[in-house]
Amino acid sequence: MRDLTRVSNSHSDSKVIDACSLFGMMDTSGGRFSGADLITAIGSMHDRGNGLGGGFAAYGIYPYFAEEYAFHIMFLSQQAKTETECFLESFFNLKYKEEVPTRDQQGITNPPIVWRYFASVSPEKCGKFIEEDYVVDRVMYINTCIDDAFVFSSGKNMGVFKGVGYPEDIGRFFRLEEYEGYLWTTHGRFPTNTKGWWGGAHPFCLLDWTVVHNGEISSYGINKRFLEQYGYKCTMETDTEVVAYAVDLLMRKHGLSIELAAKVMSAPLWNQIARLPEHERKIMTTLRQIYGGLLLNGPFTVIVAHTGEMIGMTDRIRLRPMVVGEYQSKLFISSEESAIRLVQPELDKVWLPVGGVPVVGSLKNPIKAQKEATAC
């Protein structure tokens, strides 16, 4: 049986709490491009990681299965694979399955078995569930009830690729230069309080929501308990997982805008709320009262992505770096400006966003329409 927690003896895991690298690139016109530039960009921030986690999320990469859910699943044993496939065939209409293509790559040792499954859901199978809740429920079941199986990507026309290693090596291992998508995010991990293992690498994914994160969420315990009230099960053994589930709850299930979701996770201080105009004060007070358990304490920068949209956000006092760049229809979000310049030397604009205020790139709206509140 393969061991997901095993890593090379050459890696060290000293506690350095200001590392981790992240990078996002989106063509808001919908133009598709390969993962090659992402591998280059994240590789330039090699020293921010320690080889204990790297990964990528890509959108628009499965046009021939655009209407099916693409499940990327890690297995530790053939028995787990057999049991999971029986489960998928029982609860979904399975259209196609295959092993995710990989190549031997120096620095990547002892990988798990990784397969992808394209499946749809018929209304009679959903029963009382709406379709997306049905998929979430089945993903949670696999991750908590089937030993040695782990669903790490579950959206439509998108996929997550991640593991233990430096991100540039993970990208080459999964042959990401062969894929094309209109939105990519990537992350190099430096675990601080949790172990480095294949499932614990970033991005974290639920349906088509993905999150990469640099920082340390000290409120993980209360965030986890709050989310468990709504049926989410935290199984990935790292603090960032709660951000992915919080975004799914706030924006998909409860219908909050990204601006309001940002005010929940990176909330103003109470003395700041008290000075707001009455209408805004009532809104902010209500959000704090209802969603107090989703306030993220500690330093963080996150890139959240889902179909058609990429969102960058920091904690309210910017304890972790984030720089934003634009070139024509492309939006870049990065830990370091140098990584952006490496793949796009000439930029129309580059700026540092305001803490706690989201930067949004969307297929539906030009970047400039989203930018006024964030420019410094």
Burial zone of 368 (CB within 10 Å; 0-12 exposed, 13-18 middle, 19+ buried): exposed
Phi, psi angle pair for 45, to nearest 5°: -105, 30
Contacts 24+ apart (CB under 8 A), 291-295: 291/226, 291/250, 291/264, 293/222, 293/223, 293/225, 293/226, 294/223, 294/226, 294/227, 294/246, 294/249, 294/250, 294/264, 294/265, 295/219, 295/264, 295/265, 295/267
Structural contact between residues 326 and 374, judged by C-beta atoms closer than 8 angstroms? no
Name the amino acid, one letter, at 234: C
Selection from 230, 62, 76 nearest residue 143 by Cα: 76
**What does the block give as tokens for 320?**
């972790």
- The active-site residue out of 20, 86, 205, 234 is 20
The yes-or-no answer on residue 86 being catalytic is no
215 burial (CB, 10 Å; 0-12 / 13-18 / 19+) is buried
User: Two tokens at 94?
Assistant: 């399975």
Residues 6+ apart with CB under 8 A from 245: 206, 227, 232, 234
Half-sphere exposure of 61 (CA within 13 A, CB side): 23
Ramachandran angles phi, psi of 238, nearest 5° = -155, 155
Length of the chain (residues):
376
Q: Which residues contact 190 (CB under 8 A, 6 or more apart)?
A: 16, 19, 20, 48, 49, 50, 52
Q: Any idea which residues carry the catalytic annotation?
A: 20
